[in-house]
Amino acid sequence: MNHEIGWDAVADADWPRLFHAHGAAHDTPAHLRALVHGDGGATGQALDHLWSAVIHQGAPWPATAPAARVVAGVLAEESLSRLAGGPATVAPGTRRPLRAALLDFLAAVAEAGRPDIPDDELAAAAFPPGLEQARLDAALEAVLTRDAGVWREEAECVGALMSRALVDIRSAAPALLEPALACLDDAAPRVRTSAAHAAVATAALLGDGSTDERLASRIADAARRARDRDERACLVLALGDLGQAPGEFLSDPDPAVRACAALAPALAGDCDATEEILTALTDPTAADAWFTHRPPRLRYGPRFVLVEAALARVADFDRLLPAACAVAAVAHPFTVAFDWGPLLRAAFPAAPPAPAAPDDLTEAQRTYLRALVANERLWDGRIGNTALALRRVGLPEDRDACRRLASP
C-alpha cells in the first residue's frame, strides 16, 4: 500500500489549520469523501470546491497538496467511472468520467507548482531568514479568520505561507505521478488523455530525465494505438511537452494530429513541421472545429496556438501571407491579442510614422491590409480594439483610409 497518497497520507493533517481560497479548509475533507461516495449533487459540489477553492484560478494554497494526495489515492476507485459535470475550465454542460475530471485537477495542481521557479529561490521565499514563528502563527490565525487586512499588513508572512504551499506540491509530485500513469490504461479515452496531461505536468516538477523518457515511451505507444482524433492529438501534444520530437506523427492521415505533432518545440527547426502549421492556418475555421473535446493546451482555440507557433518560426511575412489572410477573414476585434494583431505587427514591424500612399507598402502588406478591410466585424466603431491595433503600427484607423492605402 502506498502511504504517500490517499487518506493515509494526510492522517495527521489539521484541516482547520490549513486554508484555501475561501478560508479555513475544515470543509475540504467532506468534499473529498463525496467524490467517491456522494450522490450526483454532492459530487458536483465537491468538484466545484476543488476548482473554486482548492486550486482557485490556478493558484495553490496550503490545502492544495493534501487534497491532491487524497485525490491521487482514490483514482482507482470504481465509482469514479461515473459521469460528472465539468468545472469552468471546460465547456458548459460537458460531462465526462469523474476520474478524468480529477486527473485534470491533478494536472492543474502540478502546473501550480511552478516548475519555472528554481528550488533555492522558492525555499528562500518559503523560509525567509529571521521570520519569527510567532509572527507567522499570528498571520495564519488572521488568514483563517478571513481578516483581509493581513494580506497587506503581513505580506511577508502570507507570502511565506503561500510559498510553502508550492514546496508541499513539489514534495507530493513523486507520489502523484504513478496514479496518473496507471490511468493511461483506462478504458475511457477521455480518462487516458487527462492522464497524459496530468502525468506530463507532474513530470515537469520532477525534472528527471529518466522519468521523462519512461513517460514518453508510454505516451507514444498509447498515441500509436489511439483511433480517436481527440485522444491521439492530445497524446501527441503531450509528447511535445515532454521535449520529444514526434516526427512520425507528421505523416499521420489526420490534419489535427499532424498539426499537434508540428507544435512540438523540438520540431521548431523542422521545415515539414513549420509547413504543417502554415497549412493548418489556411483554414482556421476548420482548425478550430477539429476537436469534440479540445486538448488543454488548445482549449481557447487551436488557431491561436498555431498563429503563435507560426510567428515564432517564420520571420518572412511573405511566407506567412496565405495563413495571415485566412486568419484575417475569421478574426474579431476581441481576438486581436491572439491572432490578427500579432500577424499585423509581423506585417508592419517598422515603427510609425504612418505610410502615406500605397507605394509605401509592400505587396504583402497591402494584401494583408485588404484582407482586414474586407472583414466587416473588425470595423465595429463601438469596439476600439481595431483602431488601437492599427494605430500601434502606424496605420490609419479609418476603414476607407486603409482601403485606399491597400489598393493595388
Tell me: the pLDDT tens digits for 85-139? 655 444 545 678 999 999 999 999 999 999 899 999 999 999 999 999 999 999 9
Q: What is the DSSP string of 318-368?
A: HHHHHHHHHHHHH--GGGTTTTHHHHHHHH--SPPSPP-SGGGS-HHHHHH
Q: How far is Cα 327 from Cα 27, in angstroms, rounded to an integer?
A: 47
Please give the model's pTM, rounded to 2 decimal places.
0.89
Do 302 and 393 fall within a single domain?
no
In the prediction, which pLDDT does 94 show? Answer: 66
Average pLDDT, the chain: 93
Do 67 and 153 fall within a single domain?
yes
Q: Which of 139, 174, 207 is the last residue of a domain?
A: 207
Residue 323 lies in a domain: yes
Burial 258-297 (b: 16+ CB within 10 A, else e): bbbbbbbeebeebeebbebbbbbbeebeebbebbebbbbb
Q: Which residues contact 234 (CB under 8 A, 6 or more apart)?
A: 193, 196, 197, 260, 295, 296
Q: Which residues contact 299 (CB under 8 A, 6 or more apart)?
A: 89, 90
Residue 170 lies in a domain: yes
Do 234 and 289 fall within a single domain?
yes
Per-residue cell: 395: 496605420
In the prediction, which pLDDT does 209 show? Answer: 80
Residue 191 lies in a domain: yes
Q: Which of 274, 290, 313 is the last residue of a domain?
A: 313
In the prediction, which pLDDT does 235 show? Answer: 97
Domain containing 394 equals 315-405
Instruction: Give the number of residues written for the chain.
Output: 408
Do 396 and 378 fall within a single domain?
yes
Do 35 and 121 fall within a single domain?
yes
Do 197 and 272 fall within a single domain?
no
Residue 216 lies in a domain: no
Residue 1 lies in a domain: no
In the prediction, which pLDDT does 104 show? Answer: 96
Q: What is the DSSP string of 175-207?
A: HHHHHHHHGGG-SSHHHHHHHHHHHHHHHHHHT
Burial 311-341 (b: 16+ CB within 10 A, else e): bebbeebebbbebbbbbbebbbbebbebbbb
Do 121 and 155 fall within a single domain?
yes
Do 110 and 11 fall within a single domain?
yes
Residue 243 lies in a domain: yes
Domain count, the chain: 3
Do 74 and 23 fall within a single domain?
yes
Residue 217 lies in a domain: no
In the prediction, which pLDDT does 177 show? Answer: 95
Mean pLDDT by runs of 10 across the 408 residues of the chain is 88 96 96 93 95 95 98 96 66 76 97 92 95 96 95 96 97 96 94 96 88 92 95 97 96 98 98 98 98 93 98 98 98 97 94 70 96 96 91 92 91
Per-residue cell: 196: 497524459
Residue 395 carries which DSSP code? -
Residue 2 lies in a domain: no
In the prediction, which pLDDT does 38 show? Answer: 86
Do 50 and 197 fall within a single domain?
yes
Where do runs of H (alpha helix) occur along 207-288? 209-225, 229-241, 255-262, 271-281, 284-288
Q: How far is Cα 326 from Cα 372, in angstroms, rounded to an integer?
A: 10
Q: Which of 313, 330, 346 is the last residue of a domain?
A: 313
Do 295 and 323 fall within a single domain?
no
By 3-state DSSP, what share of the chain in percent is helix, strand and coil, each rounded to 5?
A: 70, 0, 30
In the prediction, which pLDDT does 382 show? Answer: 84
Do 65 and 188 fall within a single domain?
yes
In the prediction, which pLDDT does 54 show? Answer: 98
